[in-house]
A = this chain, B = another copy of it.
Amino acid sequence: MAERRRMDYSVHREILDEGAVDEMAKRSDSKPSQCEKFKKSMRCSGPRLKSCLLGSVPVASWLPRYSIRENALGDLISGISVGIMHLPQGMAYALLASVPPVFGLYSSFYPVLIYFIFGTSKHISIGTFAVLSVMIGGVTERLAPDSNFMTWDNVTNSSIIDIISRDAERVRVAAAVTFLSGLFQILLGLVQFGFVVTYLSEPLVRGYTTGAAIHVIVSQLKYTFGISPVKYSGPLSLIYTVLEICSLIPQTNIGTLVVSIVAIIGPHPQRRSSNSYLGKKLPVPIPCGIVIATIISWQVNLADRYKVDVVGLIPSGLQPPVLPTASLFGQVIGDAFALSVVGYGIAISLGRIFALKYGYKVDSNQELIALGLSNAVGGIFQCFAISCSMSRSMVQESTGGKTQVAGALSAIVILFITLWIGALFEDLPKAVLAAIIFVNLHGMMKQFMDVPALWRSNKVDMAIWVVTFILTLLLNPDLGLAAAIGFSMLTVIFRTQLPQYSILGQVPDTDIYRPLEDYDQVKQVPGILIFRSSATLYFANAEMYQEALGEKSGIDITNILSAKKKLEVKRTRHEKKNAKKAAKRKAVDMVEQKEIAIIEMDAEPDPSLPRAIILDLSPVNFLDTVGVKALRSIQRDYGDICIEVLLAGCLTGVVDNLQTGGFFNDKVTKSCLFSTVHDAVLHCKSLVLVSRCIASHQGYFY
CB-CB under 8 A for A13 and B510, given A26-B521, A458-B657, A521-B26? yes
Q: Which of B539, B620, B625 contacts A198 (CB 8 A)?
A: B539
Question: Which of A454, A492, A517, A662 has most chain B Cβ within 10 Å?
Answer: A492
Residues from chain B with a CB closer than 8 A to the CB of A512 are 16, 21, 25, 675-676
- Return the CB mask of A607-643 against B: 1 if under 8 Å, else 0: 0000000000011111011101100010000000000
Stretch of A130-138, A221-229, A354-362, A441-449 contacting B (4+ beta carbons < 8 Å): A354-362
Specify which of B5, B24, B361, B509 is in contact with A13 (CB 8 Å cutoff). Answer: B509
B7 touches A686 (CB 8 A): yes
> A661 — which chain B residues lie within 8 A by C-beta?
457-458
A631 to chain B, nearest CB (A): 13
State whether A625 and B203 are in contact (beta carbons under 8 Å apart), knowing that A9-B13, A11-B510, A652-B515 are contacts in the complex: yes
Q: Which chain B residues lie closer than 8 Å to A10 at the CB level? A: 11-13
| Cβ-defined contact, B558 with A359, below 8 A | yes
* Residue A682 is within 8 A (CB to CB) of chain B in the complex: yes
Contact partner, A507, options B21, B509, B542, Cβ 8 Å: B21
B507, A496: Cβ atoms under 8 Å?
Answer: no
Chain B residues with CB under 8 A of A204: 539
Most buried by B among A204, A519, A521, A651: A651
Please tell me which stretch of A246-254, A310-318, A427-435, A689-697 contacts chain B, meaning at least 4 of its Cβ atoms lie within 8 angstroms of it. Answer: A689-697
- CA separation between A661 and B454, bound complex, in Å? 8
CA distance A480 to B508 in the complex (A): 54
For the complex formed, measure the closest distance between the CB of A508 and the CB atoms of chain B, giving whole angstroms: 8
Confirm or deny: A490 has a beta carbon within 8 angstroms of a beta carbon on chain B.
yes
Tell me whether A520 and B694 are in contact (CB under 8 A). Answer: no
**A541 at the A/B interface (Cβ < 8 Å)?**
yes
**Beta-carbon nearest neighbor of A28 in chain B:** B520
Q: Return the CB mask of A192-233 against B: 1 if under 8 Å, else 0.
A: 000100110111100000000000000000000000000000
Interface status of A1 (Cβ within 8 A of chain B): yes
Instruction: Verify A25–B519 contact, CB threshold 8 A.
Output: yes
Query: A8-46: which have CB < 8 Å to B?
Result: 8-16, 21-22, 24-28, 31
Chain B residue at minimum C-beta to C-beta distance from A518 = B652
Docked pose: A400 CA to B202 CA in angstroms: 60
Is the CB of A649 closer than 8 A to any CB of chain B?
yes
A425 within 8 A of B: no
Partner of A8, one of B15, B562, B619, B651: B15
A5-B689, A21-B512, A622-B534 are known contacts. Are A539 and B201 too (CB-CB below 8 A)?
yes
Of chain B, the residue at the smallest CB distance from A199 is B540
For A660, the chain B residues whose CB sits under 8 A away are: 456-458
Q: CB-defined interface of A590-609 with B at 8 Å, one 1/0 digit per residue?
A: 00000000000000000000
Assembly CA distance A161 to B199 (angstroms): 54
Give the complex CA separation of A142 and B356 in angstroms. Answer: 57
A137-151: which residues lie under 8 A (CB-CB) from chain B? none
Q: Which A510-564 residues have C-beta < 8 A from chain B?
A: 510-512, 514-515, 517-522, 534-536, 538-544, 558, 561-562
B-side contacts of A519, CB under 8 Å: 22, 25-28
Establish whether residues B539 and A488, one from each chain, have CB atoms under 8 Å apart when the complex forms: yes
A571 at the B interface (CB under 8 A): no
Known A457-B660, A620-B619, A661-B457; contact A12-B8, beta-carbon cutoff 8 A: yes
> Among A7, A517, A534, which residue has the most Cβ atoms of chain B within 10 A?
A7
A682 touches B9 (CB 8 A): yes
Q: How far is the CB of A368 from chain B (nearest CB, A)?
A: 15
Most chain B CB within 10 A, of A515, A620, A653, is at A653
Chain B residues, CB < 8 A from A497: 195, 198
Q: What residues of chain B lie closer than 8 Å to A8, measured between beta carbons?
A: 12-15
Complex-state Cα separation, A657 to B509, whole angstroms: 28
| A457 pairs with B13, CB closer than 8 A | no
Interface size on A, residues (CB 8 A): 109
A577 lies within 8 A of chain B by Cβ: no
A507 with B24, Cβ < 8 A, contacts A359-B558, A489-B493, A690-B5 known:
yes
CB pair B651–A619 under 8 Å, yes or no, is yes
Contact in complex: B11, A6 (CB < 8 Å) = no
Residues in B whose Cβ lies below 8 Å from that of A538: 492
When the two chains form their complex, are residues B457 and A25 in contact, meaning their CB atoms are under 8 A apart?
no
Most buried by B among A9, A22, A496: A9
For A1, give its contact among B360, B460, B488, B694 (CB under 8 Å). B694
Indicate whether A649 sits within 8 Å of B515 (C-beta atoms), given known contacts A9-B14, A359-B562: no
Q: Write out the residue numbers on chain B whose beta carbons fall within 8 Å of the beta carbon of A622.
A: 495, 534-535
A575 within 8 A of B: no
- Residues of B near A585 (CB, < 8 A) are none
Q: Which residues of B contact A493 (CB under 8 A)?
A: 489, 492
B residues less than 8 Å from A510 (CB atoms): 11, 13, 16, 24
Cβ of A162 within 8 Å of any chain B Cβ, yes or no, is no
A687 at the A/B interface (Cβ < 8 Å)?
yes
Inter-chain CA distance A499–B12, complex, in Å, is: 33
Instruction: Determine which of B15, B539, B562 lies in contact with A360 in the assembled complex, contact meaning CB atoms within 8 Å.
Output: B562
Instruction: List A residues at the B interface (Cβ < 8 Å).
Output: 1, 4-16, 21-22, 24-28, 31, 195, 198-199, 201-204, 356, 359-361, 454, 456-458, 460-461, 488-490, 492-493, 495-497, 499-500, 507-512, 514-515, 517-522, 534-536, 538-544, 558, 561-562, 565, 618-622, 624-626, 628-629, 633, 649, 651-653, 657, 660-662, 675-676, 678-679, 682-683, 685-687, 689-690, 693-694
The 8 A-B pairs at the shortest CB distance, nearest first, are namely A201-B539, A7-B686, A26-B520, A25-B519, A359-B562, A26-B521, A25-B521, A25-B507
Can you list 10 A-B pairs with a CB-CB distance of less than 8 A? A9-B682, A13-B510, A202-B539, A202-B625, A202-B626, A454-B625, A458-B657, A461-B624, A619-B620, A621-B621
Beyond A500-B652, A500-B653, A618-B649, 18 extra complex contacts between A and B, CB < 8 Å: A4-B687, A4-B690, A5-B690, A9-B12, A9-B678, A9-B679, A11-B511, A21-B514, A22-B519, A25-B520, A25-B522, A26-B520, A198-B539, A198-B540, A201-B539, A456-B660, A492-B540, A618-B619
